[in-house]
Amino acid sequence: MSASYTWVGWNRQKKIYDAVVASGVALYLATFITLGRLLFRPPHELSDEILLLRALGTCAIVMLHIVLSIGPLARLDRRFLPLLYNRRHLGVATFLVAASHAVASLLQYHGFGNVNPLVSLLASNTNYLSLTAFPFEILGLLALVILFLMAATSHDFWLRNLSPRAWKSLHMLVYACYALVVMHVALGALQSERSIVYPVLLGAGIVLVGSLHLMAGALETTRDTRAPAPPTGTNEFIDICSIDDIPEKRARNVCLKGRERIAVFKYDGQVSAVSSVCEHQGGPLAEGKIIDGCITCPWHGYQYLPASGRSPPPFTEKINTYRVTIRGRRILLDPNPLPKGTPVEPARFQPALEGARP
């Protein structure tokens, strides 16, 4: 959530994250090149230029696999959430490594003629109907264009200006990018590669990414199908849980069939309910907590006032609110959403006395 443009919203955590990513990339490149020199001996040795462009290409592919795995991993296990908060930085780093691979390849294979290297790339091979001689470089170029678009629009500035729906659709192109990268490798490097290692690693990567997405999808489907149906009346409250079931400044996630998820927060002797879907990128507000009096999204920190579902000024985001009441120590919720940003009086309760029965 930002009211004005700043290039990068760095905080201490993001700086550590970026330092780890940069060190990981440097370590990967150094290891790949060193192993390449040791394994490929004369007369089959590879030049430093070829080793570098291969190291950059494989590094970008590994990073793309990590980017694609973070989302489902975070849905399967909350401990991966910190990786999700910083995923856009990893996406930009992936683009930079992939672009370095592209430039290195362009200079190596198209940089020594008197034709513009890009023109040479686009015009030198037009065997689009051949499987073995397909101009696979074009596939890599298209994947790079998608990575560039995603990196260039990764800032919240673009999220606000493109609208969350358009931004999300654009960033879903990462799956098209992944398919292009797989074909780029399968129709390119793997055509001349004799070693079984590359195809096996690529196959394992595809299986890993596919399995994680299927597992996370199955988990979400199970949660939704087990969810109770909301009451049919317009004014019916449903029993959610006891006040004592919710930790202070945390929420109970309420899933009802066919409805959006609802976050019921307990704080300072009060209970409020809002949509669990963050306006930013749909992050799970029920997994966040109340910081400085505001519900704080666990993904990127957007904040909302629990009693109105509105972001504190100067921000303008709004989410649905819900009516809640307390009977005894049970929390009752009206599952019919009120318009976004509608103020609702929080339900109040007496804190349990030490040693008293709940």
User: Which of 29, 286 has the CB closer to ligand FES?
Assistant: 286
User: Which of 267, 302 has the CB closer to ligand FES?
Assistant: 302
The C-alpha atoms of residue 241 and residue 253 are separated, in whole angstroms, by 11
By CB under 6 A, residue 318 contacts ligand FES:
no
Token pair recorded at residue 122: 């686009």
User: Which of 273, 286 has the CB closer to ligand FES?
Assistant: 286
Please say whether the beta carbons of 86 and 17 come within 8 A. Answer: yes
Least Å distance, CB 44 to ligand FES, is 50
Sequence-ordered list of residues with C-beta below 8 angstroms from that of 302, at least 6 positions apart, any chain: 1, 278, 279, 280, 283, 296, 311, 315, 317
The C-alpha atoms of residue 147 and residue 248 are separated, in whole angstroms, by 42
The C-alpha atoms of residue 341 and residue 338 are separated, in whole angstroms, by 8
By CB under 6 A, residue 280 contacts ligand FES:
yes
Residue of 151, 177, 278, 290 that binds ligand FES (CB under 6 A): 278
Least Å distance, CB 79 to ligand FES, is 18
With CB under 6 A as the rule, give the number of residues binding ligand FES. 9
User: Which of 162, 241 has the CB closer to ligand FES?
Assistant: 162
Least Å distance, CB 288 to ligand FES, is 8
Least Å distance, CB 7 to ligand FES, is 18
Please say whether the beta carbons of 19 and 38 come within 8 A. Answer: no
Backbone angles phi, psi at 140, to 5 degrees: -65, -40
By CB under 6 A, residue 304 contacts ligand FES:
no
By CB under 6 A, residue 335 contacts ligand FES:
no
Choose among 249, 264, 245: nearest CA to 320: 264
- Residue 118: how many other CB atoms lie within 10 Å: 11
Sequence-ordered list of residues with C-beta below 8 angstroms from that of 283, at least 6 positions apart, any chain: 277, 297, 298, 299, 300, 302
Please say whether the beta carbons of 101 and 60 come within 8 A. Answer: yes
By CB under 6 A, residue 299 contacts ligand FES:
yes
Residue of 58, 105, 276, 281 that binds ligand FES (CB under 6 A): 281
Please say whether the beta carbons of 321 and 337 come within 8 A. Answer: yes
Residue nearest to ligand FES (CB): 283
By CB under 6 A, residue 209 contacts ligand FES:
no
Of 9-17, 87-95, 277-285, 343-351, the segment contacting ligand FES by CB under 6 A is: 277-285
Of 29-37, 176-184, 274-282, 340-348, the segment contacting ligand FES by CB under 6 A is: 274-282
Least Å distance, CB 153 to ligand FES, is 15
By CB under 6 A, residue 301 contacts ligand FES:
yes
Q: Interaction with ligand FES in 66-105: which residues (CB under 6 A)?
A: none
User: Which of 280, 310 has the CB closer to ligand FES?
Assistant: 280
Residue of 266, 300, 310, 318 that binds ligand FES (CB under 6 A): 300
- Residue 62: how many other CB atoms lie within 10 Å: 17
The C-alpha atoms of residue 29 and residue 96 are separated, in whole angstroms, by 14
Please give the C-alpha separations between residue 110 and each of 9, 125, 318, in angstroms, as whole numbers. Answer: 38, 12, 52
User: Which of 139, 263 has the CB closer to ligand FES?
Assistant: 263
Q: Which residues of this protein are in contact with ligand FES, per CB under 6 A? A: 278, 280-281, 283, 297, 299-302
